[in-house]
């Protein structure tokens, strides 16, 4: 598999009052197209900061990050926003659905931002709700849905733009065992069938078992990078 992301000597430091907190220290990492990678480690190890870098939400203080062949340090904030919207899908622990939008409208949102005509956006969003098994909830508001259903909406929203990369921060943390297994099956199948790169930060042993590769972090550094023969 070819490389989608190349991280070289990445450093990121946060300033909290008079304190300086190193979040990432000299990160070197290649992420291949179509692989399923789990980022693990204790709270405060740098997992979320690394995902923010990979997702082009945050910029490094030092080092370089290439995404799909582009040196991201050369891209403007607008170009990074366009790249995120077209090439990256995000699945959050807290779902991050718009509460006053229906499930269908939430899934349509990234297409609307892209300028996709409403009729096409509605059709594509409806198709994805069907693919994740909740088409009958298309017109429900998030607060009328279960945690598992809301996470399926979030996954449909992440995938509706046909991204190269899906980033998930603790995607099963708020779900029961049955819904967790369903989400894992769905993401595994996505990686298998569509060759989408999936990167997760997780403490969930069930997700670690499914991922083909584990990156272990401690104190802002990668201390192990292991292939998992699943």
Q: What is the pLDDT of residues 5-27, one digit of tens each?
A: 999 999 999 988 888 889 999 99
What's the mean pLDDT in 102-110? 96
217, pLDDT greater than 80: yes
Give CA–CA dist 224/210, Å, rounded. Answer: 18
- Homologous superfamily (CATH) of 3-227 is P-loop containing nucleotide triphosphate hydrolases (3.40.50.300)
Question: Regarding predicted confidence, which is higher, 94 or 198?
Answer: 198
CA 174 to chain centre: 16
Q: Comparing C-alpha atoms, which of 54, 58, 23 is closest to residue 38?
A: 54
What's the mean pLDDT in 107-114? 94
148, pLDDT greater than 90: no
159, pLDDT greater than 60: yes
Q: What is the pLDDT of residues 25-44, one digit of tens each?
A: 999 999 999 998 999 998 88
Supply the pLDDT for residue 230.
56
What tokens appear for 198 in the block? 């999936």
């Amino acid at each position: 598999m070819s490389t989608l992301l190349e991280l070289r000597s990445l450093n990121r430091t946060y300033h909290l009052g008079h304190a300086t907190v190193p979040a990432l220290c000299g990160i070197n990492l290649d992420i291949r197209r179509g692989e399923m990678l789990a980022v693990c480690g204790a709270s405060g190890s740098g997992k979320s900061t690394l995902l923010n870098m990979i997702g082009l939400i945050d910029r490094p203080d030092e080092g370089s990050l290439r995404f799909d062949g582009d040196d991201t340090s050369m891209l403007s904030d607008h170009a990074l926003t366009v790249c995120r919207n077209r090439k990256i899908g995000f699945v959050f622990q807290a779902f991050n659905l718009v509460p006053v939008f229906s499930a269908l409208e939430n899934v349509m949102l990234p297409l609307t931002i892209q300028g996709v005509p409403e009729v096409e956006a509605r059709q594509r969003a409806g198709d994805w709700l069907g693919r994740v098994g909740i088409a009958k909830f298309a017109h429900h508001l998030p607060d009328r849905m279960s945690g598992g259903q809301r996470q399926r909406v979030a996954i449909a929203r992440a995938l509706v733009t046909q991204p190269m990369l899906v980033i998930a921060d603790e995607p099963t943390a708020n779900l029961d065992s049955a819904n967790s297994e369903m989400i894992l099956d769905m993401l595994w199948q996505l990686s298998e069938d569509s060759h989408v790169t999936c990167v997760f930060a997780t403490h969930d042993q069930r997700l670690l078992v499914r991922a083909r590769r584990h990156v272990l972090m401690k104190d802002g550094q990668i201390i192990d990078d292991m292939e998992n023969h699943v």
